A = this chain, B = another copy of it.
Amino acid sequence: MPSSKITIKEIASALGLSIATVSRALNGSYDIHLETKEKVLAKARELHYKPNIQARNLLKRRNNMIGVVVPEFITFFFPEIIIGIQEVVNKHGYQVLICQSNESSSLERKNVEMLEDSMVEGLIVSVTKDSKNMDLYERLVQDRMPMVFVNRVLPQLNVNQVVIDDRKWAFQTVEHLIKCGYKCIAHLAGNPDLSVTKERLHGYLDALAAYGIPVQEQLIMYVGIQQERAKDGIDYLMVLKERPDAIFAVNDPVAVGCMLELRKRGLRIPEDVAVAGFSESPIGKIMELTSVSQPTFEIGKIAAEMLLKQIANNDLPVETVVLEAKLNIRNSTLPLNKRAH
């Protein structure tokens, strides 16, 4: 019963030893007689001794914790990244404090400050969709807080990053649409301040340019990144004089929203309108949505490794790691000759 009150001191007095000897017995094996070491270990087991890591941490000026801040963890994406992170850091004796900012930059700020107060040794961050806390992160960089940004980054910030080449993969996706014979390709973009929004839009424009297709401003609409926002995009696109025959959405939720909305209107996918997404999701897969899959676990693992390295040596040069991705083609986009008519 007196389980949580057992300290090194109790063991010492129970055995007529000093706390120093007990500590040595429990930790290493230097300067300690084997016999007394075993006596101590036995007594520790008997009393259900658990070391107080807070005391240890205080002394060593660390706490074996890192913080993770993500915009949400309802969908599979960030949870998978987090699992990757945990897999790596747990092996090194670290625990992870996970915060979700619910896409609110003020909550994000609060979370980061809470983690700072908790004295985490480092931070892995993916910012909210409005990316508003530049000042906060600038201060943290200045205060030399080890940090790694993943997926949604702040390009202006000189800090470690783990990303994929959103621009390149957006290019490939749109190129695929072009090669399928789609003539009028719209883009539903995300929140304008988001790094991934800009990159993917860039890739879309690159592809059009590469194939000599003139850009039509009216085919680009910023709808955000949530499924429910797709309706606005469809409402708008479907009444254009020149109606698009394909849509490249900024991500899978929006693409899925498009598919549901198009179906509601009795339009066939891909015969009437093709749809492609980004950051392949389980739902997208089930709905046969063409999309780019990201190496989520890998992102987490790499980010964690970079962070641990930086914690160990805070003078390492800042690094950006770009991971590979993959375009998975499914029935939401098909070449002309394979489409039913």
Contacts and interface: CB of A to CB of B under 8 A. Distances in A.
Nearest to A282: B283
A79 B73 contact: yes
Contact of A3 (B82, B90, B143): B143
A210 interface: no
Contact of A74 (B76, B100, B143): B76
B50 A116 contact: yes
Interface string A107-133: 000000010111100000000000000
A98 interface: yes
A53 B283 contact: no
A282 B257 CA distance: 12
B143 A114 contact: no
Contacts of A52: 58, 119
A82 B52 CA distance: 27
Contact of A79 (B48, B79, B142): B79
Contact of A76 (B75, B80, B142): B75
A239 interface: no
Interface string A70-96: 000111100110110010001000011
Interface string A4-21: 100000000000000000
Secondary structure of the A contact surface, majority rule: mixed
B4 A143 contact: yes
A106 interface: no
A316 interface: no
Given A80-B74, A256-B286, A119 B54 contact: yes
B98 A114 contact: no
A39 interface: no
A86 B307 CA distance: 25
A98 B98 contact: yes
Given A74-B76, A90-B114, A144 B3 contact: yes
A48 B83 CA distance: 34
Interface string A50-65: 1111110110000100
A99 B283 CA distance: 25
A240 to B, nearest CB: 27
B98 A96 contact: yes
Nearest to A253: B282
A222 B50 CA distance: 41
Nearest to A283: B283
Contacts of A282: 283
A209 interface: no
A95 B80 contact: no
A97 interface: yes
10 contacts: A1-B142, A3-B143, A73-B82, A75-B76, A83-B102, A95-B97, A96-B97, A256-B286, A283-B283, A286-B287
> What are the 3 tightest A-B residue pairs by CB atom distance, in nearest-first order?
A3-B143, A54-B58, A73-B79
